[in-house]
Each structure stands twice: as structure tokens, then as C-alpha cells.
Amino acid sequence: MSVRRSLPVSRRGALKIGALGAFAFGASALPFRLAAAQQASAPAGGAGRHGLSVFGDLALPPDFSQFPYVDPDAPKGGTLRILPSQWGFNQNPLTYNTFNTFILAGDAPPMMEMCFDTLMVRQLDEPDAVYGLVADTVSVSDDEKTFSFHLRPEARFHDGSPLTAEDVAFSLQTLRDEGHPSLRQVLSWMERAEVEDAETVVVVLKPEASNRLPPTIATMPILSKAYYTENDFQRSSLEPPLSSGPYRVGEHETGRYVNYERVADWWAADLPVSRGQHNFDIVRVEFFRDRQIAFQALTNGTLTFREESISKNWVTAYDFPAVRDGEVIKNEFPDNRPSGAQGWFINTRRKKFADPRTRQALGLAFDFQWTNENLFYGLYERVASFFENSDMMAEGMPSEAELALMEPLRDQIPEAAFGEAWTPPVSDGSGSDRTLLREANDLLMQAGWQRDGRNLVDADGNPFTIELLGNSPSFERIVQPYARNLERLGIQMNFRLVDPAQFQSRLNGFDFDMVGRRFALSATPGEGIREFWTSEAADTDGSSNLSGIRNPAIDALVAKLVNAPTREDMVTAARALDRVLRVGFYWVPNWYSATHRVAYWDLFGYPEKTPHYAFPVAATWWWDADKAAALGRDG
């Protein structure tokens, strides 16, 4: 095995391999993207509703006073200094060069979504409910294809100009036609958005659109039409755009930090969907390119909150004086969301990975049991499913309901999908399980690879090499044991380290052999899931179909999932889809944990109740002035 670096490590090094960073749909980070997995259940006709849900009634009545997981009396003030653990669109946790986060070009800082209002917002104790923010009500046509959102007349942009139906219609159509590919794909099912009057925007869906699209639309960011009439929407720029949300971009230094400043006179601060939230005067996102430097930033107070993603640190590093003195708290919170898919994704667009037996062999070479015991201190579980940690993951033999979906597609589905749900084999924990490596070798021979001495070559004599794309040197310790096993099979793996901008560019253009990534999915997958596994997404630059999956059966099962009329039907479709995806061997499954492991300076208060489907620290925690005074901190 060899490790190649295209660039020397910068003065700040590298923090987190984008490979295993969370490209998330998590609500705490990207509420408008998480809601891309919803379905409207508003009644047809009649009076407008105060919210939309997917498979049942709303949990909160029209006169609710606040969400159940907030403290309505939480004080305002102070600064949260944080490393983001989730990001999406063109956001980059290592650096930034633009504040336009809704296009493909450039690298935007995470958490830009805090600057933008939406028609409705997620209620994070329900799997798929949204309630009115800019829109106070929504009415639905009898055929559930036309949605009329009535806007609050007091809605304002940060410059004091009114936020009207013109802005909403402009935003939806611009994001559909010119936005990031993940936005364009979802909104392609919207026929049009039109202005009825200054306070009413009417959204018309295409006849074939899923009934989960309306809450997606309700949680899209609202742009200023006037601002983007004067400024090119497609332009990458470090000029903060005009927005209307609870925060605005404040002081910043490119590639080092961004201060998101609370808007003291935010028009929506006293609404039920906002009460008790957005409590910090400043949410400061810090950028580091070296994990160890980032950890040291917590020990010296530069960071005041850190979600720990390195198991070795969690077990061995939290013994510095501030922890021993009780100034830094080490805590764990449950993560009830589907953990989604984390693994090394294999680019099937490349000829050498075309045979699924080759891809299966690559998975057999990864010894998770050894890795977990020796590198992760036993803190993780093995990922088996694309819907891990949820009721949507397939188990055992397919049910009759699953078979009813799969049988019509039998000629397009591997026979193995009709048996026990495939799970990664358990190794002997030696680090190089000979039984599994022998099985991998047999699969490679069946796939047509040949021996040339100790090396594998294809029919034309080309050696089997793999470049695993990454942007952090800290991941080498995990890759190296895996690469040694591949070397035993005659495969040469190179860990290619590139800078953050190049990493994102190559990811967008699918310019890699393998790359690590994690996708955390919604509890109710919907339209947004099409960009992960469908044939159309395989050819769309910037999509999340990293493996280049093109299979009409998978397309059909994704459609069944998206259009499922009940939660039971949705779960059935997801399980059938999961079975087929697993036996395609499109990835080498990695690991997951159903726990948020966090460390923070004892400066904060937080509600007794944590929402079930998210961990929204920046939204629901607050600065505790008494604790801060005891530690001599003033912000």
C-alpha cells in the first residue's frame, strides 16, 4: 500500500475527511433539506391548516405556544463556538470561498441555512410534520395538486423590505431551474409557483408528483427577488446575500471562521415555531484542517462545543485539566434518527468496478471486527443497511408485501435479494481473515481478473489499482489495514489526499475510484431520496448517487417508496429497496453509532427534553451567564 498526497498539509492541517463527515439531511443542520422527505396530509378544500404532516394528524393544535422540546424562557446572549457535524449542498466543513450555498459552484460555510426563512419549519418530535413560519396557513385543492400558502404580512428581510409572495414564487422557480442539483431534482416535480396576491403564493404540482412534495416546498429557503435581480444567482461571492432568517452573516475571515449574528429584531422571534430558539447572540463556526489542532481548540477554549467523531479521542484524550476540574463536560445524547449509509462508495462508472463480484470482494477485505476493537475501542456497530438504525432496514426473509413489490421486477433483480437480507460477514478479528480473503479471491477470479505474479490484472494486462479519495491525513490509520488486505489479494490501493476545494470538485464530477461518505436520511424518505440511487441522478453532477447506480428495478422501488400512501407501505418499499441495494455491492459498509458524543465548556443551559429526530444545539441551547461568570468567560 502507498499513500500519496497531492499537496503538503497547510498550516492548519486537515480536520475531517469529507469522506466520513456527515453530508446530512439532519434537521438540526439543514431543516429545509430534511423536509425533502415529506408528504402532505392537509385536508382537501376548506379552511387552511397551520401545518402539514405525512401519515396522520398533526401533534400540535393551531393554538400551540411553542415546540415541546424548547424552554420558552431561555435567555438570549453569549457565543457558541462550534465545529459543524452536518452540512449539505456545496457546504464544506474545512474551508469556504462563497456565501452562496444553493448552487453547485464554490464552497460555502456550513449552517448558512440559519440565515434564511422558510414557509414552514420542522417539528422535531414528529417524523415529518411542518408548521407555519412565513406562511400562517396552507389550503389544499381537492386533487391535492394545488397548495395555496397564505403569508404573514409582517414577514421582513433584514433590510426591512417586506417578504411577499413575489419572493416566494421567485425562490421556488429559481431553485428549481438554477439551484444545486439536489434542489433542482426535487423541485422538478413542481409545475409552477404563481402569485395570487402579495400575501398568497400558489404552488401547482405536476400530475405525477408525489404527495410528499408540498412540505418539501414549504421548507425551501426564501430568497429576495430584488436582491437577485441586481445580483447573479449563479455567482459565487463572499458578499453575504440579503436574507430574512434568525441569523445573518457577521464578522468572518475566509477559511478560518464565520460569525452568524442573531438578528435582534427578527420579525418572527415571538412566533410559536420560534419561541425558545435561536438564543445565542453569535454562532461562530470555526474551520480547521487538522483534527488534532481542532481538538486542541476545545482544550484551550477556542471551541466551546465539539461533537466527537474520533473514538480514540473519546476514550483517551478527555483527561485534560478542564475536564478534570469540571469546566468541560463530557456527555452522551441518544441519536434516534436513521443513521443512514456510511461507507466507502465504489464508482461503478469505471469499467474495473462493473462486475458486482469485484465489488463484493472489495467488501470482504475490510475487517470491521479488527478495526472496531483495535482502532475504535469497541464504540461502533457495523453498518449493514442503507436505512440503518430504523424500521426501514431489511431483515431476514422478505415478507409477502415485499415480495409483491419485488416479483414483477425479478428479471432485473439479483436472485440473492429474494433470500435472507445480505449482511456483511463477521470476521475472526485477526485483521486478515483467511477464509474471507479466500472467498474474495474466488469472486475476483470469477469476475475475470487474472494473476500476474502477486498482482491482479484484467484481460488486457492492466493492474488492478484503486484510488481512495480523501481530504484528511488522519484517516490513513483506518485505510492502511484495509489496503494491506487488498494487497494480499493483488490489488494496490492508494489513499489520495487532496485539498478541500479539489475534493469537493472531484466529488461533484464523480472523479474518483472510491470515496467515503455518510448520508443521514429522514425518518420519512421522500422526493429527495431520488438523488441517491436513481439512474437519472447517476448522470447529474453534484448528486448523491456516488456509486453511479443505474438499475430500472431500483428506480421503480424508489418510486414505490416515494409514493407510498401509508407509513406501512413506505416501510415495506424501503425494506424491498434495501434488499436490492445491498446485493448490488455498491459500497464497502463502514460503521455507525446511535449516540451523539459531545464535549462542551460548562457555559450553557439546554432543555430537559431532547427532540426525538434531531440534536439542534445551535437552535435550542442557550448561554448561561452565571456559569460563564464562574469560568471568567464573557462570550
Give pLDDT tens digits for 49-83.
999 988 878 999 999 999 999 999 999 999 999 99
Write down the domain spans for the chain.
248-337+596-630, 341-592
Q: Is the pLDDT of residue 13 over 50?
A: no
For residue 363 the three cell numbers come to 467488501
Alpha-carbon distance of 159 to 153, in angstroms, equals 16
| Residue percentage of the chain with pLDDT more than 70 | 93
Give the DSSP letter string of 454-492.
TEEE-TTS-B-EEEEEES-GGGHHHHHHHHHHHHHTT-E
Residues 15 and 83: beta-carbon distance below 8 Å: yes
84 near 284, Cβ under 8 Å? no
Q: What pairing do the DSSP bridges indicate for beta strands 455-457 and 450-452?
A: antiparallel
All three cell numbers of 308:
466527537
DSSP string, 561-581: HHT-SSHHHHHHHHHHHHHHH
**Could you report the per-residue pLDDT of 240-299, keeping only the tens digit for each?**
999 999 999 999 999 899 999 999 999 999 999 999 999 999 999 999 988 889 999 999
Distance CA 300, CA 283 (A): 18
State in words which class domain 248-337+596-630 has. Answer: alpha beta
Whole-number Å distance between alpha carbons of 520 and 29? 11
Residue 47: pLDDT band by 50, 70, 90 thresholds?
low
More confident residue, 14 or 270: 270
102-152: pLDDT as tens digits: 999 999 999 999 999 999 999 999 988 999 999 999 999 988 899 999 999
Please report which helix (H) or strand (E) contains residue 191, including its range. Answer: strand 190-197
Q: What is the CATH number of domain 341-592?
A: 3.10.105.10
Task: Quote the crossing angle between the two packed helices 356-364 and 434-446, to the nearest 10°.
Answer: 170
At 476 the pLDDT is: 87
Select from 625, 598, 65, 553 the least CA-distant residue to 330: 598
What's the mean pLDDT when you consider all of the chain? Answer: 90
Q: Which helix (H) or strand (E) holds 251?
A: strand 247-253
Q: Are 145 and 204 in contact, with CB atoms under 8 Å apart?
A: yes
- The DSSP H or E segment spanning 51 is strand 51-52
What does pTM read for this prediction? 0.81
Q: Return the closest-CA partner of residue 333 out of 291, 293, 305, 313.
A: 305
> Three-class SS of residue 14?
strand
> Can you tell me the distance from the alpha carbon of 149 to that of 627, in angstroms, rounded to the nearest whole number?
44
Question: DSSP letter string over 422-448?
Answer: P-PPP--SSSS-HHHHHHHHHHHHHTT
Q: Is the pLDDT of residue 365 over 50?
A: yes
- Cα torsion 106, 112, 116, 118: sign: positive
Tally Cβ neighbours within 10 Å of residue 58. Answer: 19
What is the per-residue pLDDT across 453-481, written as a single tens digit (0 to 9) for each? Answer: 999 999 999 999 999 999 877 788 899 99
